[in-house]
């Protein structure tokens, strides 16, 4: 009897694993901590930057990135910002300001992300109440995105939902989402973290 119970447990575990992956050979998608949009965002044209120089309010400014990729900072003049991180820009400003003031402390903060707006969005399409394109937020999951779209309609086939994600090779991968289990049963095994650029599609059921 103990041997039989062990077999049942093993079979059940395998069935749950198959459900979690939707029968796909692809591993479940995971949040990419090294995503350039999330962790290593590079400044682009039209982004707005706040330059703060500690104890020197006259040198602190809020500036947009010009079409040539540069910003203008008091005393320093033009500084290349496009294609660089805020840390890199801050380090250059700090280095140049050292010629004029003693031990400058500079902070560069991105206050308006405009250049990469559409690259950093998550889209929900198909049989949802309000198909939507929303800005990505760190920690966002499939459930967050679907709820932002108003949930599914009465014509939806939620357990055939797919999450489409672009790869570094320029192709895309599709992951099966058992959305009905998430919404109705609280089964979060398929409530995957989303990434900027992901598209979640909820198909309609066949009549």
Kindly indicate whether the domain formed by 48-112 is annotated with CATH number 1.20.120.80: no
Match domain 118-207 to its CATH number in 3.40.50.300, 2.60.40.1220, 3.10.560.10, 3.40.50.2300: 3.10.560.10
pLDDT surpasses 50 at 12: no
d(CA 135, CA 132): 10
Residue 35's pLDDT is 39
**CA distances for 72 relative to 62, 65, 159, 163, angstroms:** 10, 9, 53, 42
Check residue 28 and give its pLDDT.
61
- pLDDT beyond 70 at 13: no
Residue 30: band (very low, low, confident or very high) from pLDDT cuts 50, 70, 90: low
Say whether pLDDT at 40 is over 70: no
- Please give the Cα distance from 205 to 158 (Å, whole number): 8
Confirm whether 48-112 and 118-207 share one CATH topology: no
Average of per-residue pLDDT values in the chain: 83
* HSE (side-chain half, CA atoms, 13 Å) at 76: 26
Q: In the block, which residue shows the tokens 């599914």?
A: 152
| Predicted TM-score of the model (pTM) | 0.54
Q: Using the predicted structure, report yes or no on whether residue 23 has a pLDDT greater than 90.
A: no
Alpha-carbon distance of 61 to 41, in angstroms, equals 21
**pLDDT tens digits along 136-166:** 888 999 999 999 999 999 999 999 999 999 8
Identify which has the larger pLDDT, 107 or 168: 107
Let me know: does 123 contact 132? Beta carbons within 8 Å.
yes
| Per-domain boundaries in the chain | 48-112, 118-207
Q: pLDDT tens digits for 67-121?
A: 899 999 999 999 999 999 999 999 999 999 999 999 999 999 999 878 877 778 8
* Predicted confidence (pLDDT) at residue 36 exceeds the cutoff of 80: no
| H or E segment to which residue 135 belongs | strand 132-135
């Amino acid at each position: 009897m103990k041997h039989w119970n062990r077999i049942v447990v093993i079979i059940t575990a395998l069935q749950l694993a198959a459900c979690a992956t939707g029968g796909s050979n692809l591993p479940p998608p995971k949040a990419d901590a090294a995503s350039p949009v999330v962790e290593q965002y590079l400044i682009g044209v039209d982004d707005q930057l706040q330059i703060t120089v500690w104890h020197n309010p006259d040198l602190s400014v809020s500036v947009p990135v010009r079409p040539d990729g540069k910003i203008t900072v008091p005393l320093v003049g033009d500084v290349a910002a496009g294609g660089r991180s805020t840390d890199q820009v801050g380090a250059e400003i700090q280095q140049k300001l050292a010629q004029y003031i003693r031990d400058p402390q500079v902070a560069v903060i991105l206050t308006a992300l405009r250049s990469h707006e559409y690259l950093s969005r998550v889209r929900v399409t198909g049989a949802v109440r309000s198909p939507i394109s929303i800005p990505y937020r760190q920690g966002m999951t499939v459930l967050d995105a679907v709820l932002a779209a108003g949930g599914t309609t009465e014509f939806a086939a939620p357990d055939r939902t797919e999450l489409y994600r672009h790869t570094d090779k320029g192709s895309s991968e599709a992951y099966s989402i058992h959305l009905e289990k998430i919404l109705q049963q609280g089964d979060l095994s398929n409530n995957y973290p989303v990434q900027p650029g992901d598209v979640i599609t909820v198909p309609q059921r066949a009549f």
